[in-house]
Chain A
Amino acid sequence: MKLTKARLILEDGSVFFGKSFGFESSVAGEVVFNTGMTGYPESLTDPSYAGQILVLTYPLIGNYGVPGDEQDEASGLLENFESDKAHITGLVVSDYSFEHSHWNAKKSLSEWLVENKVPALFDIDTRMLTKMLREKGTMLGRIVFDKDERKEKGQGFFDPNKENLVKKVSISEKKIYRGRGEVVGRGVLRVVLVDCGVKNNIIRCFLKRGVEIVRVPWNYDFLGEEYDGLFISNGPGDPKACKATIANLKKSLDANDPKPVFGICLGNQLLALACGADTYKLKYGHRGQNQPAVMHTDNKHNRCFITSQNHGFAVDSESLPEGWEVLFSNANDGTCEGIRHVSKPFFSCQFHPEAACGPTDTEFLFDDFLEEVRKHKRESGRSGK
């Protein structure tokens, strides 16, 4: 097999030589690593990876191919992916499996990457690369094909965090999904989901609980909608770029008898910014399926959950204003993994309780949120405009 060679060049000048198994075109982005050992179809279609060249630390990739584009009839969501397309800028692995084997596979990862125009390299010492990113922090990088050399010259690195990536991945107009699961209690709950790059599984988690979802664009003024609870989704890039979302969210928090709010990942950061706290960029982020999040609901902090994560920015716990507290913290580095209001029904988590990919241990947070929503709906009579 004749393989095209290509290079991964980092902003510090390091060069890694690899072989292509994806779309052959030079690209630039932010280089990040993920330590999960399974779930590449989910990761590659996660909108939070927009603008990023993803390094998978698990070396054997492509083993079970890529599943098909089956759509869920009711929601129209792709059943096997986290959004409608690949969002990563590029993929870097150690050992690509040219032959795959799985009953659910429709094509190889290589074919899928080519279709989705995502360049991918293998035969790179991803451990060495990961250690560099760990030591020096996340870096910008480029995947460069020799054929593009001339064209490439003079072209620089690209920092996705300087752009409003959310704008690129968010839905363009409002869309309504009807729940199909068992409806608990009286009446269907209606949740506004602010799409900053939402993963399909978040929607699925709501739908299977019988919730009706009003999915709105990132900058949509949802205050005019009729709804029982507010959800702020995950998404890519620097949270501070989402000024419109933060402003809308702030209005919602400040309202009289505010609706319960739940945020995931970017949603956690946006909630923090909306309440007046600050966010910052982590040295190399948390991306993987084994991040331990300690729950701060008792004094002993004996409960700890294994969570799936994908974020480069974090909430500064110190900056939380009066009335807010840390709900979860990372057992490894102590960073903020979730916040809540001490008296109002607002909370969020930095990790992904919807999993996909990753462990499902914290999916109960959806139930907790919906319980609050139900309670609020009950207590405040009908949900009003």
Chain B
Amino acid sequence: MTSRVKVKEAMKEKVPGAKAHLVRPGKVLVLGSGALKIGEAGEFDYSGSQAIKALKEEGVKTVLINPNIATIQTSEGMADKTYFLPVTPFFVERVIEKEKPDGILLSFGGQTALNCGVALFESKVLERHGIRVLGTPVKTIIDTEDRELFVKRLDEIGVKTPRSIAVNCVEDSKKAARKIGYPIIIRAAYSLGGQGSGFCSSEEEIVDRAAKAFTHSSQILVEESLRGWKEVEYEVVRDSYDNCIIVCNMENFDPLGIHTGESIVVAPSQTLTNSEYHKLREISIKVIRHLGMVGECNIQFALDPFSEDYRVIEVNARLSRSSALASKATGYPLAFVAAKLGLGYSLPELRNSITKVTTSCFEPALDYIVCKIPRWDLSKFSQVSNRIGTGMKSVGEVMAIGRNFEEVIQKGLRMIGHGMHGFTANRDILYPDLEHELKNPSDRRIFAIAKAFEEGYSVDRIHELTRIDKWFLHKLENITSISNELSSHGSLGSLPDELLLEAKKRGFSDFQVARLVLKPGSAEMEESLLKVRDHRKKKGIIPFVKQIDTLAAEYPAMTNYLYLTYSGSCHDVGFGRQGGDEDSVVVLGSGAYRIGSSVEFDWCCVNTAASVRKTGRKAIMINFNPETVSTDYDMCDRLYFDELTFERVMDVIDLEDPLGVVVSTGGQIPNNLAMRLHKEGARILGTSPESIDSAEDRHKFSRLLDELGVDQPEWKELRSFSEVKAFADKVGFPVLVRPSYVLSGSAMNVVSNPEELEQFLKLASDLSKSHPVVVSKFIEGAKEIEIDAVAKDGEMLCYAISEHVEFAGVHSGDATIVFPPQKIYVETIRRIKRISRRIAKKLGISGPFNIQYLAKDNDIKVIECNLRASRSFPFVSKVLKLNLIDLAARVMLGEDVKKPEKSSFELDYVGVKAPQFSFSRLQGADPILGVEMASTGEVGCIGDDFDEAILKSMLSVGYDYPRKGVLLSTGPVDSKAELVEEARLLAGKGLLLYATPGTARFLEESGVKCTALYWPDDKRSPNTLECLKSGKIDLVINIPKNLSRSELYNDYTIRRNAVDYNIPLITNMRVAKAFVQAMCNTDKKDISIKAWEEY
């Protein structure tokens, strides 16, 4: 008689890391990702926050290190201790010594945390302090990060990777390329989002690229090119009992060759058969088991479009941008689950947080499609190519949810916020060479495809040029044909209902329908759009609300993660009184992260929703950014993951009939909707839309200031070059030139002379033909001061005044900000308070607002006023330890709010907010500061004094104490003079000084020794360029010679090379002074290690 059937485990080989640790750590250190930068953005606030929540739920103490003060994870009620310190081995070790944690999470803070963790592991710091790495072991991380090891590990199990040769010098890269055959791709190991990567089709290209890649990494890979292959990603979860699931698979719309962060991506995959889908799934699991991952990871495949051949491109042994996207796309809380698995839980033990009754050990079934589209801001940078490729340039992304591809791509293109209305019915973009445009992907290629269809290109032809799968192209063609059909009707009366409904199902907005059918001029656009809306509502053509439930309706969802679609015939949820008795409040989110609007507004929105809930009302969030915490369905009562357009917001308001709408915490997008929503009868909470308009409209606001007798820089709205010239002559150069109604200074510039003025106006007038130009007097050497405040019925309840380190002329988003201010006259502060009070009173402000001032010799001028939360609200709230948003929210909800007693004058510490730039990602960009915002993120650190605070901040955004040499090129004479003392200090620290000819002469004359270097365009030696490349310099101070964007070749070359060779660069005289002084006054080891709670 045989014994009973033995069911073996699925896996045959010994699996590393498959043993469960059931010993719970008592205290866990969580590493954040620091400032938002290209390649590492808001998604890590989401993952870190979820990890902290998961640990807290288990009673584990958490210590967080993250200098990004605007994040949710660094907020009250999150980690037990929060350190606003750089995520570098030096500081993390100091925190370890102090906090003595017994566990650490490395995979929730992006590449920054991972690299830092690997360094701490390799230097045995973790071992020395007895700290266990929770989740994926460091050995596995190293296996995935080192390409050679990675390939070897995959070879062991017969999994294919691209043919590739690892090299350590430029010469070897040439040899490797010859062996593999051109075209090849170059990749740098250990880098953020493909930095330093690129295609090369010739020896010349490889020499150039390889040299740059080596500055990011000591090793580069020369690989076979798989251009045109499909790119597919899988998000895999594995627990320590070896259970594996695929939470989501995703397919790139753009074929391989474009970084996944730069690609339009859909989930789930659309063009894969069962056999392909499950083949790649099986390989994913095999790989993850073999490597011994515990928690979450991402695996990227290339799939041959003509067979089932594949290559594994990359494995990310950590939460990534894709995993944040997968979480939002499926409703599966990846980061939360990954953290629990790190504590030793098994997948089947954890519940599905949407159904509450089913297990977490399952694979979400979607009954919708999502589409992610990247957001680029390349036009903000001079000399940056808008071509996209294997490196990442995008600064944010959006995710659209719907029930067909046409719907999601059109929704997504609107969400991007570049003024497009969908795939069609947009303003005409001119492509001088359409074929070239299709062949060479850029940030606008999708619109080139629209243009091609318009011009009669076939799907086959476009496929040949773009290599985009024909399935996607057929869908886009379908949008074009619906557009054409709509255009063939001239009135709503003649438009068949069925066609209108079909158009709405395929993602057409009322705006598109209005433009295509009614063909109005721009003046009648708004009216036409309302006509369409009215017409379709009368016909009963309205969207339906559907739930995201992870199980395709197989089980009821207990959460309200929602989207709207016309492909439906019933709502999944009830509304208004049906939905419950409480009043609800709609909070409008901030949309895609972009330069000028990012995580800080998400913090404001999340806090507003929390405050709404605290008052017993239901919070309804509308937002579509998958990188945010505000789009976590447990942050509000209802989450509409949908557009922030007038149409969609009104759709939600029509359904929900809320008490009101909050437009003042999500930045400029909701702010711009205020008046239109108000006109349609929506109740705007807080400051009245008329007042918002008065502050936004330059003329109205200027008149108001005049009435109040408040000074402002002289300005004029002008329509011709001669008028502008005359005005500039009158007030004197320099002048600031800009169009009205802008965010983060698009198309603004300071011009110093008539030639620059003429040159700039040619560009600016191209940008906005119908709009006049606003020219104002630019005041040099003025201090910029900001006030962030909350008022109730015009009475200022609380405020925070902060000062910029830089003189006016640097965009406030790029400025280094000090709070409380350290160098302002008491009289100036008094006057700013007084003026702010008067403005608040006049505009009847109820809610948050921000005013920016110029101060010179006690002379104060107002330069800008926003009746909404500004990007510095989280910073000042956290330094002040008074949540200004909570206060503002309660004011807007009409709660009884007492004036808080806190005052910034009582603070015995200082906060400094510093910008993070991503110039290294933007090939060719001139890393210079101006009135246009260029930073992608920021940090905020607290110190016992200004020196300590600025040091912590600047070390957090990539600066460090130089140890070898400093290159000085200190610009105009006055700034040369200003920086002599600092040069002396640096020399006093034993640093070697190098200087460009003029600066060198100046320093010598002042008695500071330095080595003079020739300018880059001078062929003579010693040359600045060779010095930069030699590694002798670890700080560059290069002060631009004038205010304009067009800088001289030599200075540009120095700055650009500093960025390309990863050398810290300072381009502002005031920042240079502050940093050098602080650095020379305070040793790195003397910087205090204090948690936020200790100040």
Binding site for B on A (CB under 8 A): 16, 33, 35-39, 41-42, 57-60, 63-64, 67, 94-95, 97-104, 123, 125-128, 130-131, 134, 257, 260, 288-292, 294-295, 297, 300-306, 327, 331-333, 340-347, 355-362, 364-365, 367-369, 372, 375-376, 379
A263 vs chain B, min Cβ distance (A)? 12
A327 vs chain B, min Cβ distance (A)? 7
B943 vs chain A, min Cβ distance (A)? 48
Q: Given that A128-B569, A303-B243 are contacting pairs, would A60 and B362 also be in contact in the complex, using a CB cutoff of 8 Å?
A: no
A-B contact pairs, 17 of them (CB 8 A): A37-B277, A38-B273, A60-B405, A63-B271, A99-B474, A103-B307, A125-B567, A127-B367, A306-B363, A331-B361, A341-B4, A343-B4, A345-B4, A357-B274, A358-B278, A360-B281, A368-B5
A301 touches B348 (CB 8 A): yes
Kindly report which residue of chain A lies nearest to residue B359, judged by CB atoms: A331
A130 vs chain B, min Cβ distance (A)? 4
B909 interfacial by beta-carbon distance below 8 Å: no
Return chain B residues, CB-CB under 8 Å to A368: 5-8
Return chain B residues, CB-CB under 8 Å to A331: 348, 358-359, 361-362
Kindly report which residue of chain A lies nearest to residue B273, judged by CB atoms: A64
Q: Please report the C-alpha to C-alpha distance between residue A357 and residue B275 in the assembled complex, in whole angstroms.
A: 8
B245 interfacial by beta-carbon distance below 8 Å: yes
Kindly report which residue of chain B lies nearest to residue A37, judged by CB atoms: B268
B484 vs chain A, min Cβ distance (A)? 14
Return chain B residues, CB-CB under 8 Å to A102: 271, 273
Return chain B residues, CB-CB under 8 Å to A297: 6-7
Q: A94-B404, A305-B10, A359-B281 are in contact. List 11 more A-B contacts (CB 8 A).
A: A41-B274, A58-B365, A60-B270, A102-B271, A127-B546, A130-B552, A134-B554, A347-B4, A347-B7, A358-B278, A361-B285
Kindly report which residue of chain B lies nearest to residue A331, judged by CB atoms: B359
Q: Given that A59-B367, A290-B364, A303-B241 are contacting pairs, would A375 and B9 also be in contact in the complex, using a CB cutoff of 8 Å?
A: no
B568 touches A128 (CB 8 A): yes
A37 touches B365 (CB 8 A): yes
Q: Please report the C-alpha to C-alpha distance between residue A359 and residue B4 in the assembled complex, in whole angstroms.
A: 26
Binding site for A on B (CB under 8 A): 1-10, 241-246, 268-275, 277-278, 281-282, 285, 305-307, 346-349, 357-359, 361-369, 403-405, 459, 469-471, 474-475, 544, 546, 551-556, 567-570, 572
Return chain A residues, CB-CB under 8 Å to B358: 331-333
Q: Please report the C-alpha to C-alpha distance between residue A367 and residue B7 in the assembled complex, in whole angstroms.
A: 9
Option from A123, A288, A304, A355 in Cβ contact (under 8 Å) with B361: A304
B368 touches A59 (CB 8 A): yes
Q: Given that A60-B404, A101-B469, A289-B365 are contacting pairs, would A344 and B552 also be in contact in the complex, using a CB cutoff of 8 Å?
A: no
Return chain A residues, CB-CB under 8 Å to B9: 303
Q: Please report the C-alpha to C-alpha distance between residue A302 and residue B362 in the assembled complex, in whole angstroms.
A: 14
B831 vs chain A, min Cβ distance (A)? 61
Q: Please report the C-alpha to C-alpha distance between residue A331 and residue B363 in the assembled complex, in whole angstroms.
A: 12
Option from A104, A347, A364 in Cβ contact (under 8 Å) with B273: A104
Kindly report which residue of chain B lies nearest to residue A129, judged by CB atoms: B553
A101 touches B271 (CB 8 A): yes
A103 touches B305 (CB 8 A): yes
Q: Please report the C-alpha to C-alpha distance between residue A342 and residue B6 in the assembled complex, in whole angstroms.
A: 10
A39 touches B5 (CB 8 A): no
B362 touches A292 (CB 8 A): yes
A290 touches B365 (CB 8 A): yes
A347 touches B5 (CB 8 A): yes
Q: Please report the C-alpha to C-alpha distance between residue A49 and residue B368 in the assembled complex, in whole angstroms.
A: 24
B271 touches A295 (CB 8 A): no
A269 vs chain B, min Cβ distance (A)? 18
Return chain B residues, CB-CB under 8 Å to A59: 367-369, 403-404, 567
Q: Please report the C-alpha to C-alpha distance between residue A100 and residue B445 in the assembled complex, in whole angstroms.
A: 23
Option from B244, B365, B403 in Cβ contact (under 8 Å) with A288: B365
Kindly report which residue of chain A lies nearest to residue B279, judged by CB atoms: A360
B362 touches A332 (CB 8 A): yes
B367 touches A57 (CB 8 A): yes
A342 vs chain B, min Cβ distance (A)? 5
Return chain A residues, CB-CB under 8 Å to B307: 103
A372 touches B5 (CB 8 A): yes
A58 vs chain B, min Cβ distance (A)? 6
B10 touches A95 (CB 8 A): no
Q: Given that A290-B365, A342-B4 are contacting pairs, would A356 and B270 also be in contact in the complex, using a CB cutoff of 8 Å?
A: no
B567 touches A372 (CB 8 A): no
Q: Please report the C-alpha to C-alpha distance between residue A218 and residue B366 in the assembled complex, in whole angstroms.
A: 36
Q: Please report the C-alpha to C-alpha distance between residue A368 and residue B5 in the assembled complex, in whole angstroms.
A: 7
A188 vs chain B, min Cβ distance (A)? 20
A63 vs chain B, min Cβ distance (A)? 5
B175 vs chain A, min Cβ distance (A)? 35
Return chain B residues, CB-CB under 8 Å to A303: 9, 241-243
Return chain B residues, CB-CB under 8 Å to A60: 270, 369, 404-405
Kindly report which residue of chain A lies nearest to residue B402, judged by CB atoms: A59
Return chain A residues, CB-CB under 8 Å to B551: 35, 290
B341 vs chain A, min Cβ distance (A)? 12
Return chain B residues, CB-CB under 8 Å to A375: 2
Return chain A residues, CB-CB under 8 Å to B3: 343, 345
A221 vs chain B, min Cβ distance (A)? 24
Q: Please report the C-alpha to C-alpha distance between residue A161 and residue B744 in the assembled complex, in whole angstroms.
A: 67
Return chain A residues, CB-CB under 8 Å to B348: 292, 294, 301-302, 304, 331
Return chain A residues, CB-CB under 8 Å to B275: 356
Kindly report which residue of chain A lies nearest to residue B463, judged by CB atoms: A101
Q: Given that A59-B567, A331-B362, A379-B2 are contacting pairs, would A126 and B367 also be in contact in the complex, using a CB cutoff of 8 Å?
A: yes
B5 touches A361 (CB 8 A): no
Q: Please report the C-alpha to C-alpha distance between residue A333 and residue B362 in the assembled complex, in whole angstroms.
A: 13
Q: Given that A101-B471, A125-B568 are contacting pairs, would A35 and B7 also be in contact in the complex, using a CB cutoff of 8 Å?
A: no
Return chain B residues, CB-CB under 8 Å to A95: 403-404, 567
B8 touches A364 (CB 8 A): yes
A290 touches B363 (CB 8 A): yes
B894 vs chain A, min Cβ distance (A)? 38
B1 touches A58 (CB 8 A): no
Option from B245, B269, B274, B471 in Cβ contact (under 8 Å) with A100: B471
Q: Please report the C-alpha to C-alpha distance between residue A228 and residue B551 in the assembled complex, in whole angstroms.
A: 41
B282 touches A130 (CB 8 A): no
B367 vs chain A, min Cβ distance (A)? 4
Option from A41, A260, A295, A332 in Cβ contact (under 8 Å) with B7: A295
- Most chain B Cβ neighbours within 10 Å, of A57, A292, A362, A369: A292
Q: Given that A59-B567, A292-B348 are contacting pairs, would A346 and B5 also be in contact in the complex, using a CB cutoff of 8 Å?
A: yes
A-B CB proximity, top 4 nearest: A39-B274, A99-B474, A101-B471, A35-B365
- Most chain A Cβ neighbours within 10 Å, of B551, B552, B572: B552
Q: Please report the C-alpha to C-alpha distance between residue A211 and residue B10 in the assembled complex, in whole angstroms.
A: 21
A340 touches B4 (CB 8 A): yes
Q: Please report the C-alpha to C-alpha distance between residue A102 and residue B274 in the assembled complex, in whole angstroms.
A: 12
Kindly report which residue of chain B lies nearest to residue A340, judged by CB atoms: B5
Kindly report which residue of chain A lies nearest to residue B266, judged by CB atoms: A60
Return chain B residues, CB-CB under 8 Å to A36: 365
Return chain B residues, CB-CB under 8 Å to A341: 4-5
Return chain B residues, CB-CB under 8 Å to A345: 2-5
Q: Please report the C-alpha to C-alpha distance between residue A302 and residue B241 in the assembled complex, in whole angstroms.
A: 7
Q: Given that A290-B365, A302-B346, A343-B1 are contacting pairs, would A332 and B570 also be in contact in the complex, using a CB cutoff of 8 Å?
A: no
Return chain A residues, CB-CB under 8 Å to B245: 306
Return chain A residues, CB-CB under 8 Å to B243: 302-305
Q: Please report the C-alpha to C-alpha distance between residue A368 and residue B10 in the assembled complex, in whole angstroms.
A: 10
Q: Please report the C-alpha to C-alpha distance between residue A368 and residue B275 in the assembled complex, in whole angstroms.
A: 24
A134 touches B553 (CB 8 A): yes
Q: Please report the C-alpha to C-alpha distance between residue A289 and residue B275 in the assembled complex, in whole angstroms.
A: 13
Return chain B residues, CB-CB under 8 Å to A346: 5
B84 vs chain A, min Cβ distance (A)? 40
Q: Given that A38-B272, A359-B278, A360-B278 are contacting pairs, would A125 and B570 also be in contact in the complex, using a CB cutoff of 8 Å?
A: yes
Return chain A residues, CB-CB under 8 Å to B570: 125, 128
A44 vs chain B, min Cβ distance (A)? 12
B270 touches A127 (CB 8 A): no
Return chain B residues, CB-CB under 8 Å to A361: 10, 244, 285
Q: Please report the C-alpha to C-alpha distance between residue A95 and residue B245 in the assembled complex, in whole angstroms.
A: 28
Q: Please report the C-alpha to C-alpha distance between residue A306 and residue B365 in the assembled complex, in whole angstroms.
A: 12
